[in-house]
Amino acid sequence: MHIQLSHPPRTVDIKGPKRAKDLLRELNLVVEAHLVIRGDELVTEDEMLYDQDHIEIRPVISGG
């Protein structure tokens, strides 16, 4: 699956299917500091993500 990340902005491809919380763990990202967005839909950590999904992992610490 195609994953978009921020801080710094980058994209990575990871093989699915995979639960959102496992994806975060694999990328060494803390659950409390990130949200997983599939397309334009916010998903919970137990959601299964597939190869065709476009995923954004958005850090929650942001702003000025």
Partner 1 sequence: MNCTKCKMKAAIKLPRHHAAFCKSCFTHFTHDQVVKAVKSQQMFRKEDRILVAVSGGKDSLALWDILLKLGYRSDALYVNLGIAGYSHRSLDKVRSYADKTAAGYGATLHIHTVEQEEGAGIRELSMLVHRPTCSTCGTIKRYQFNRAAIEKQYDVMATGHNLDDEAARLLGNVLHWQEEYLEKQGPTLPASLDGFAKKVKPLYRLTERELAAYAILHGIDYIVDECPMAQGARTLLYKEVLNRLETESPGTKQNFYWGFLEKQKVKPSVRSTMAERDQACLHPCSTCGQPTTADVCSYCKLMAKAKTHSMS
Q: What would the x/- binding string for partner 1 be over residues 2 to 21, using CB under 8 A?
A: ----xx--------------
Q: Which long-range contacts (CB under 8 A, 24 or more apart) does 43-46 make?
A: 44/20, 45/19, 45/20, 45/21, 46/19, 46/20, 46/21
Find the DSSP H helices in 5-57: 20-26
Using the rule CB under 8 A, is 64 a contact of partner 1?
A: yes
The residue among 12 and 30 lying less far from partner 1, judged by its C-beta, is 30
The nearer residue to partner 1, 14 or 37, going by C-beta atoms, is 37
Report the site for partner 1 in 21-40 (rule: CB under 8 A). 30-35, 37
